[in-house]
Amino acid sequence: MVTALNKSRCLILSCSQRKSTLSQPLSAIDRYAGPSYQVLNKFLREQPHESNNLDIYILSARYGLIRSQTPTHYYDQKMTSANAAVLRRQVLHTFEQQILPKKYAEIFVSMGKTYLLALDDLPTINEHIKLIISQGSSGKKLTELRNWLWGCTPAASQNSIPLATPNLDKQTAVLRGHSVTITTAAVLSLLQDKIEASNGLAFHIQSWYVEVNGARISPKWAAQVLFNLPVSEFSADEARRVLRRLGLNCYQI
């Protein structure tokens, strides 16, 4: 947790393949629409006071390291090792001129290995600044991003249904004639692996959510993944019922 004496934080994200195709200039944070931006925008909506203490930078394959409000145009360009090497000087300059002088309490970096190449040769960061570089699978990085933004795993809502107990042994749940037999740990692993490929659909929450390693996920999306059924074929109540049967709690917003 960030202390009350210094609550300023800095987030550095990579751009995303999924982005708005609008031709007019958009701020970078409005241009990109990948899963990390779904998590970030939800935090900005839910925690406006905490957002005042958060500066956001984005490492773009086209623009280099930019502030989240920098105007951008639509483009389709992937980050490559060669491109990262070209951008390194600009990234270093921006880091030294804009980020280091702020003396943030924490700097959180979340991006793939190719993007991280552009951050090579950064100057030594003051020992009083906590630098966190999120690595691993896409699902793991999303979970770490969410936990870092909120500061901790959110508490269960008072409106949650009675708590389910994680199943160490396999349990069977049935949804509209489709059944699965699986442990709770395997459910969480499967859903986490599918989050990145959902193109943000996993985060389309209405009134209820289920937590997957700290990330808030739509119960109907989770049930769709587990039972391989279109969401139009079952209700939200049915989704919550089968998830609870499999050891996952659903919470009301």
CB 61 within 8 A of CB 15: yes
> How far apart, in whole angstroms, are the C-alpha atoms of residue 67 and residue 64?
10
pLDDT digits (tens, 9 = 90+) for 202-222: 998 887 889 887 788 999 999
- DSSP annotation of 121 reads T
Antiparallel, parallel or unpaired: β 250-252 and 208-212: antiparallel
Domain 9-150 belongs to what topology? Uracil-DNA Glycosylase, subunit E (3.40.470)
* pLDDT score recorded for residue 141: 84
* pLDDT value at residue 179: 92
- Within the chain, which residue ranges are assigned CATH 3.40.470? 9-150
Question: What pLDDT is recorded for position 143?
Answer: 83
Q: How far apart are the first and last CA of the chain?
A: 24
Region 225-248: mean pLDDT is 91
Cα(6)–Cα(38) distance, rounded to whole angstroms? 27
SS3 1: coil
pLDDT at position 164? 61
Residues 25-43 have pLDDT tens digits of 999 999 999 889 989 998 9
The predicted pLDDT at position 207 comes to: 79
Most confidently predicted of 1-5, 198-202, 217-221: 217-221
